[in-house]
Amino acid sequence: MIFDTARWVNHPSRTYEAEHKMIQLRSAHEVGFDVPATYCLNSEHLLGSRVSGPRVAIKGLDTVLVRSDTTEFFGYTSLIERKELEGAELKGAPLVAQQALTDKLDLRVTVVENDWWCASVTEGGSGIVGDWRLKKSNVAFSEFALPQAVGARCTELTRRLGLRFAAIDLALCADCFFFLEVNPTGEWAWLQEEVQFPIGAKLADLLGRPPSIRHGIA
């Protein structure tokens, strides 16, 4: 078989599965992470009072990438007013509705096998309302002293999803580390440049080792 003994980072089948939001959230809960109240639904009426507050975080079940001719549009997490869902036609487009965490500090944890690095994400020295990726050119990244137990959960989650590399987004809110999502193909080069994390060297070391397991999945 082609690539039968290749070392994958990450294996395509594991990447595909790990990108599914509900699989991520279930696995994160199983390794001990707190997860915001989350519902997968295709009707506004199913949300009801399950998620409190005037606003709700909306995201796709999987990575949202829309193409129009030669232009690509990426779907980010959106904070919307609950009333914006009134009358929405969701039958053909199920979504993930999640408790909105507004007073938070965003954290990006990059995992390479058993190693991990954590950076805080701020704008003007303060936390960011909504998805920080929408403001990537205006935010600052700083090394963050993540508790060892939380870092261990990140590496365990990566293993549980069958991955060797993962970019994990957490939110520190009211002294609690909430899991938001994991990207098995997440960007990392800017963290190496801005925070001097040795991510590239660790990946090069991993890729340079001879594969010891069939398909390089485990």
Sorting pLDDT into bands at 50, 70 and 90, what band is 4? low
SS3 content of the chain, % helix, strand, coil (to 5): 30, 30, 40
Calpha distance 58→48 (Å, rounded) = 15
pLDDT over threshold 70, residue 14: yes
Chain CA centroid to CA 152, Å: 16
Across 9-29, average pLDDT: 93
pLDDT over threshold 50, residue 158: yes
pLDDT over threshold 80, residue 117: yes
Region(s) of the chain under CATH 3.30.470.20: 1-35+101-218
Fold designation for 1-35+101-218: D-amino Acid Aminotransferase; Chain A, domain 1 (3.30.470)
* pTM recorded for the entire structure: 0.85
Calpha distance 3→211 (Å, rounded) = 11
Calpha distance 117→82 (Å, rounded) = 36
